[in-house]
Structure 1
């Protein structure tokens, strides 16, 4: 193998730049040529490809987002779109591809692998919803962004004796809400995997108010529903003044934490190793602080599950 490509796809995540840097520098260390594909699979179809040198990835490890940019591409889900991508890979003589993204990105990587182009997936998503790895690139940074916001909101909640609902990202997975809620002592944590009984949430709020609690914090993953609708229901049921904050895309931005930079560097470098070993259709991950790799098909066939121990603990500590 002489030439490899790298792209980022789907939602951006802090630490993607660190992963790109690791891929480029590890590949060049092994005397490979590296080509960056801009705008994800859309850029692959359009041939938006350029050679990357050591200096191309200088001074990016501390930057959020992705220097290669990202885009969602419906066309690449079709055989015709995939064939256009393959033609661009052939044109540039790219023999292997590293895809940094989430499960949708990995489906594209698997399709290319099946059609003769070896791909390795690197899990990059703030949702931490990829099987086969304890953590995904960007999760730790997003989590710390959420915690910082909750800490500030708690100051106001205490001053005005209000109930605050904080809506965080997590359409299908509640890791961000669960970890943030446990770290910040939330009264209730509402996540897609565990549909809490509304009456239980109300009981907790009333019980806390009756024992003199001055404020309450509820963390709501967006997959459960609208924070504003939930807030209105709570205020009507308890007569407690309730405010809602939707953190939105602020969770995706910002300089990656040290943890995300190290994780991204390790995973990006490991992906290059797998290509050099002749492997394809694999995803790199980290489990118990050891680098691992799994068949992408196995990863995609399993549904993400929440840490039940942590969820139970959050209930026990929020009495």
Structure 2
């Protein structure tokens, strides 16, 4: 293999730039040419790519977002669109592709793999919902962003003796909500993976009030319902709340040290896989060790939630 390419796709995540940097510099170290594909799969179909050099990825390890940018691409979901992408790869002499992104990005890689093109996926999403890896790039940074917001909101909640509902991202997974709830000392955490009952939430809030508690924090994952919907349900039970929807602030910002390190490890490992002639694999981390595994496993097995952590959050918030 002499020439590879790298693209970022889906929602941006802090650390994507660190992963791109690692891919480029590891490839050059291994005497490979590396092209950067701009605007994800859309850019791949349109042939928007250029050769990257060491200087092309200088001073980006600390930047959030993605220098290669990202875009939605309905065309890639069609057979014709995927064939156009494959034609662009072949006409540009590219023999392997590193795809940095989340679930949708991985599905695109699976389609290219089915066409016989070697793809290696690097998990980058603040949702941390990619099966096979314990941590995705961007999760740690987003978590710390949420924690910072919770700490600030708690100051106001305490001053005004109020209950606040904080809505966090996560798509259909509750990892971000659960970790933030436990780390932020939230009284209630609602995640898609566990059932909830409004009366039980009300009882918990009233119990706290009865023992003299002046404020409460509720964390709700967007996959459960919106914070405004939950506020309406609680109001029907006589509980007045204030709502904060953190939104896209969770995706931005300079990546944490942890995200920079795992992004560098993942990106370098991806290049190693392609150099060995391996495709159809994903990179991840388990028990502090960087691993690779079959891409199909991401979709044939379910993402696992740490229910023990959920139980702990409830026990510590009594």
Give the TM-score range, shorter chain.
over 0.9
Q: Is the 8 Å Cα contact of residues 132 and 303 (structure 2) preserved in structure 1?
A: no
- Find the counterpart in structure 2 of residue 224 from structure 1: 224
- In the alignment, what sits opposite 2:98? 98
In the alignment, the residues of structure 2 paired with residue 57 and residue 17 of structure 1 have an alpha-carbon distance, to the nearest angstrom, of: 8
Quote the offset at 1:80 in angstroms. Answer: 0.4
Q: Distance in 2 between matches of 1:226 and 1:14?
A: 24
After TM superposition, the structure 1 stretch with the greater mean CA deviation from structure 2, 146-155 or 229-238, is 229-238
Q: Indicate the SS of the match to 2:237.
A: helix
Partner of 1:263: 262
1:115 and 1:233 mapped to 2: Cα distance?
49
C-alpha separation between the residues in 2 aligned to 1:147 and 1:301?
Answer: 33
Unaligned runs of 5+ in 1: none
Aligned residues: 318
Unaligned stretches of 5+ in structure 2?
none
Q: Contact 2:138–2:255 (CA<8 Å) still a contact in 1? A: yes
Does residue 66 of structure 1 match 2:66? Answer: yes
What does residue range 169-188 of structure 1 map to in structure 2 within 5 Å? Answer: 169-188=169-188
DSSP 3-state at the match of 2:217: strand
| 1:80 has 2:80 as partner | yes
Q: Which residue of 2 aligns with 1:304?
A: 303
Give the secondary structure class of the aligned counterpart of 1:34: strand
Deviates more, 1:137-146 or 1:304-313: 304-313
Report if aligned partners of 1:177, 1:189 keep a CA contact under 8 Å in 2: yes
Residues 198 and 233 in structure 2, CA contact (< 8 A), matched pair in contact too: no
Deviation of the 1:233 alpha carbon: 1.9
Work out the CA distance in 2 between the residues paired with 1:302 and 1:103. Answer: 13
Shift >2 Å, 4+ stretches: none
Deviation readout 1:94-141 (Å, 9 max, x if unpaired): 000000001111111111112121000000000000011110000000
Instruction: Look up the match of 2:201.
Output: 201
Which stretch of the first structure deviates more once superposed, 80-89 or 293-302?
Answer: 293-302
Q: Deviations over 1:29-85 (max 9, x none)?
A: 011000000000000001101110000000000000000001121111111000000
Shift of 1:196: 1.1
What is aligned with 1:277? Answer: 276
Which deviates more from structure 2 when the two are superposed, residues 228-237 or residues 243-252? 228-237
Name 1:192's counterpart in structure 2: 192
C-alpha separation in 2, matches of 1:141 and 1:299: 23
Q: Is the 8 A contact 2:24 2:34 kept in 1?
A: yes
The normalised TM-score by structure 2 is: 0.99
**Residue 256 of structure 1, CA deviation:** 0.1
Q: Is 2:289 the partner of 1:286?
A: no
In 2, the alpha carbon distance for the partners of 1:49 and 1:216 equals 50
SS in 2 for 1:126: coil
CA–CA distance in structure 1, aligned partners of residues 264 and 24 of structure 2: 11
TM-score under structure 1 length normalisation: 0.98
Tell me the residue number matched to 1:254. Answer: 253
Matched, 1:244 2:215: no
After superposing the two structures, state which structure 1 stretch, 226-235 or 271-280, moved more: 226-235
| Alignment correspondent of 2:122 | 122
Q: Distance in 1 between matches of 2:26 and 2:222?
A: 38
- Residue 158 of structure 1 aligns to a residue whose secondary structure is helix
Q: Displacement of 1:235 after TM fit?
A: 2.7
Please give the alpha-carbon distance, in whole angstroms, between the structure 2 residues aligned to 1:171 and 1:32: 37
Whole-Å separation in 2 of the counterparts to 1:45 and 1:201: 49
Partner Cα distance (2:73, 2:303) in 1: 24
CA distance in structure 1 between the aligned counterparts of 2:225 and 2:124, rounded to whole angstroms = 25
- 1: distance between equivalents of 2:261 and 2:171? 27
Offset, 1:154: 0.2
> How far did residue 171 of structure 1 move?
2.1
